[in-house]
Chain A
Amino acid sequence: MKILGWKELPIGGLILEGGTAAQYITGGWRTMRPVIDTAKCINCLTCWCYCPDSSIKVENEKITGFDLDHCKGCGICAKECPPKVQAIKMVAESEVRG
């Protein structure tokens, strides 16, 4: 994204289009990340309903993974995954990133 000067910006801090949060990468705040075991997952979409950051990626009604540019690692998805399934594990970023 081009960084704009004061003469170029809309005034009052207004953002003149919708959905710009998608361009703003905030996943770097995360200390834990969700990891899914697709063999266990029954695609009930409970995690998708609960994720406060809309970071569960779904295609054709099936979970395909996480939007790690926006996932904050809150662990709600892991917690809400049905107790008998437990398809999501939270893993420390330090372990994944090394």
Chain B
Amino acid sequence: MAKRVAMTGNEAMAEAMRQINPDVVAAYPITPATEVVQIFSSFVADGLVNTEFVNAESEHSAMSACIGSAAAGARTMTSTASQGLALMWEMLYIASGLRLPIVMAEINRALSAPINIHCDHSDTMGARDCGWIQIFSENAQEAYDNMIQAIRIAEKVLLPVMVTTDGFIISHGMETMELLSDDEVGGFIGEYKPQHSILDVENPITVGAIDFTDYYFEHKRQQIEAMNTAIPHILEIGKEFAQLSGRSYELVEGYMLEDAEIAIVALGSTIGTAMVVIDELRDKGIKAGLLKIRVFRPFPAKEIAAALQHLKSIAIMDRSDSVNAGGGPLFTEILAALYPLSVRPLVVNYIYGLGGRDMDMERIQGVYQDLQKIAAAASIDQPIKYLGVRE
């Protein structure tokens, strides 16, 4: 019987970690992710988990400790945000290149400068080519559910996984949600049986050897293949999780999308706000919908194209800018996903919410009004707009 509780996103992620009971957690605190490991550390102190908790002196060291621990065959987790993720940068590539199934709770926060502690997706998007699977959560319930699924995904695909929530909006916002029992979580994730361990003296291995021009490409090709073939595993694990919890998980999820003429595409907490706006628009007879991207890496290009192909106009909502004079990361990747279609919808990009700038219903209503105009005119006057910034 599911237990109904009120929890913040950070509490929900820490609770998932308690139920997962990883062998090792190595972390360094950073707002707004601090609470995840702070709460978890009290579980360690209270003897509620068997975890070896490593207080590292920086995020670079935390990820290094995670790599050593995972290479030893331990189920390993961590949490960070923003500058912390940026400081892990070098080690993120090593974790994925060594094919270590580390799971991270990443709480989306803007990157300096200027210093800012609030939500945007610059940190996670900056790490989008690190070879980690990236899963965005709309609310605390999804953050909890995604953490549990991430263990299975990481250990199946042998790639590290980051599960993200939106800093403060989800991490510190209280919601009602459902928890599985400890036994249900334990049964779902099962026992981790690593293929190799550097501590196995009977079967000595070398981890992290150098590759020259003769082997580097082959090892990278293997890693690319793991990401290329991850989607069926993520879907399968999602299905199994739905049987356990009653909550289904796909790569992308539409809301009022099938008969929609105009739609927005977004990640994370904005989805909930947009759904309320859609309900209002539908009452007025406006065929508005949305597509939520849950899994950003691997990028579900085919699924996105299939979900969006029938629309007249689409707004891609990016909570970060690539600062490349070409729009946000979600925008450029979705444009590429739509290119193989013979008839393509009109697509515009909105950069919004940088440094925690609020994304309210009024702003989303404005986006749908723009989409109606674009659909009616069958043309785009301005492909990239900045939503909610003062001129």
Contacts and interface: CB of A to CB of B under 8 A. Distances in A.
A18 B202 CA distance: 10
A39 interface: no
Interface stretch (A3-11, A49-57, A64-72, A87-95): A3-11
Contact of A9 (B97, B100, B206, B222): B222
Contacts of B208: 13
**Residue with the highest number of chain B CB atoms closer than 10 Å, among A4, A9, A13:** A13
B218 A5 contact: yes
Nearest to B196: A14
A6 B158 contact: no
Nearest to B210: A13
Nearest to A7: B222
B218 A12 contact: no
A6 B204 CA distance: 22
Nearest to B99: A12
Contacts of A9: 215, 218-219, 222
Contacts of A20: 206
A12 B158 contact: yes
B214 interface: yes
Interface string A36-63: 0000000000000000000000000000
Chain B CB count within 10 A is highest, among A3, A6, A9, A16, for A6
Contacts of B99: 11-12
B90 interface: no
Given A3-B214, A6-B219, A17 B158 contact: no
A87 B97 CA distance: 47
Contact of B204 (A4, A11, A13, A17): A17
B98 A13 contact: yes
Interface size class of A (residues with CB under 8 A): 10 to 19
A64 B99 CA distance: 44
A6 B203 contact: no
Nearest to B214: A3
A21 B192 CA distance: 31
Contacts of A85: none
B97 A13 contact: yes
Contacts of A12: 97-100, 158, 207, 219, 222
B218 A14 contact: no
B205 A15 contact: yes
A5 B221 CA distance: 10
B391 interface: no
A96 B140 CA distance: 72
Nearest to B100: A12
Interface in B85-137: 97-100
17 contacts: A3-B214, A4-B218, A11-B99, A11-B222, A12-B99, A12-B100, A13-B97, A13-B98, A13-B208, A13-B209, A13-B211, A13-B215, A14-B98, A15-B205, A15-B209, A17-B204, A18-B205
Interface of B: 97-100, 158, 196, 203-209, 211, 214-215, 217-219, 221-223, 225-226
Given A11-B219, A15-B209, A17-B205, 5 more contacts: A9-B219, A12-B100, A12-B158, A12-B222, A14-B207
